[in-house]
């Protein structure tokens, strides 16, 4: 029997809460956090996204793109309360709930508490309850595994629902642009394009050894999901020990300015992931893998949660300590050493996001 997996993703969650609570903001481009002078945006409304504004973008860049952008001070305690309210709705249907962040989660409703046969009907009920209780909209993806449910939830945002039935899995994947694959970022997409991989069907040309050759350990994942296979279970009460980001380059980095530029890109990506995950820690680790596959790490730990302005400085310090006089094939940054209530502790990091 195939599983019935739902991925629920709140629509522009932080910004939508602000527009709900402050009616004068509705229909207008809103950025949560940041300021017109400095800082980094934590979230953007759909009206702002039309201008290319996104989370982790520098406020100065956002204002250039949208001069009428409205900056709204964050209220993370409110977002956390609303997130818990939404999560309680999930538990009415199943105990198999895997939160990914404050605004999204996987649900396994194969054997749901209400005995509803159709996962699509469960998703519709959940979406309606979320709206009735919070006046916020969510998008849902429904399919047979986590990869497909996650991809499906992005198909009809905002306030949409998309179903990928077992009979339509392979046809859907084969026509899916590679940029829409969960786990494919900008650099990986560029590498795939160089290999003439543009859609899911193009991945099917590569056997597993070739996938491993080009993409390392991620090759297993890409090989499987291109064939509609994802055996990962929905894990309730999943506890993340770290939040990180890394990039394997199609060409080894040799120039110091190139290296610094890539580290800057990693900083922004890590800030975005930390903001979305609701996590914060005291330790920052830089990972460097050289062209001969030798790998080193450098770490620094501070007494309090790492704020966004501290993260940037710590990353630069770690890079200065690392021997970067050889060609580099991979760089990564990770925040770890979370406290017990990481979601609450991470609020300080998020608050500093817009200082």
* Catalytic residue numbers, as ranges: 104
Q: Which H or E run contains 320? A: helix 308-321
Phi-psi group of 350: left, alpha or beta (phi > 0 → left; psi -120 to 50 → alpha; rest → beta): alpha
DSSP 8-state code for residue 93: T
Phi-psi group of 154: left, alpha or beta (phi > 0 → left; psi -120 to 50 → alpha; rest → beta): alpha
Cα distance between residue 199 and residue 196, in whole Å? 9
- Cα angle 173, 140, 247; round to 5: 55
CB atoms within 10 A of CB 16: 27
C-alpha Rg value of the chain to the nearest Å: 21
3-state secondary structure of 187: helix
CB atoms within 10 A of CB 123: 28
3-state secondary structure of 143: strand
Cα distance between residue 119 and residue 6, in whole Å? 7
Q: Which H or E run contains 189? A: helix 186-194
- Alpha-carbon distances, residue 299 vs 274, 285, 307, 314 (angstroms): 18, 4, 16, 9
């Amino acid at each position: 029997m195939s599983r019935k997996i739902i991925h629920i993703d709140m629509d522009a969650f932080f910004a939508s809460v602000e527009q709900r609570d402050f009616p004068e903001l509705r229909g207008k481009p809103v950025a949560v956090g940041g300021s017109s002078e400095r800082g980094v945006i934590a979230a953007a409304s759909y009206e702002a996204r039309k201008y290319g504004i996104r989370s982790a973008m520098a406020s100065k860049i956002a204002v250039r793109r949208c001069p009428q952008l409205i900056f709204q001070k964050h209220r993370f305690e409110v977002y956390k309360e609303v997130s818990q309210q939404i999560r309680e709705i999930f538990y009415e249907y199943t105990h198999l709930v895997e939160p990914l962040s404050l605004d999204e989660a996987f649900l396994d409703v194969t054997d749901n508490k209400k005995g509803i046969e159709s996962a699509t009907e469960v998703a519709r009920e959940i979406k309606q309850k979320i709206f009735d209780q919070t006046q916020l909209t969510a998008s849902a993806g429904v399919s047979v595994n986590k990869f497909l449910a996650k991809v499906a939830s992005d198909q009809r945002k905002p306030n949409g629902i998309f179903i990928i039935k077992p009979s339509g899995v392979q046809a859907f994947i084969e026509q899916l642009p590679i940029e829409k694959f969960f786990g494919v970022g900008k650099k990986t997409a560029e590498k795939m394009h160089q290999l003439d991989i543009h859609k899911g069907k193009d991945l099917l040309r590569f056997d597993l050894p070739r996938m491993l050759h080009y993409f390392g350990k991620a090759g297993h994942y890409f090989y499987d999901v291109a064939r509609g296979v994802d055996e990962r279970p929905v894990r309730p009460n999943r506890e993340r020990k770290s939040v990180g980001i890394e990039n394997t380059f199609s060409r080894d980095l040799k120039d110091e300015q190139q290296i610094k530029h890539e580290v800057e890109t990693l900083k922004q990506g890590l800030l975005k992931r930390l903001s979305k995950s609701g996590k914060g820690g005291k330790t920052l680790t830089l990972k460097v893998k050289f062209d001969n596959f030798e790998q080193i790490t450098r770490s620094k730990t501070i007494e309090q949660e790492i704020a966004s302005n501290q993260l940037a400085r710590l990353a630069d310090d770690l890079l200065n300590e690392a021997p970067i006089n050889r060609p580099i094939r991979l760089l990564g940054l990770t925040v770890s050493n979370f406290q017990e209530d990481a979601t609450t502790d991470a609020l300080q990091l998020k608050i500093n996001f817009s200082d």
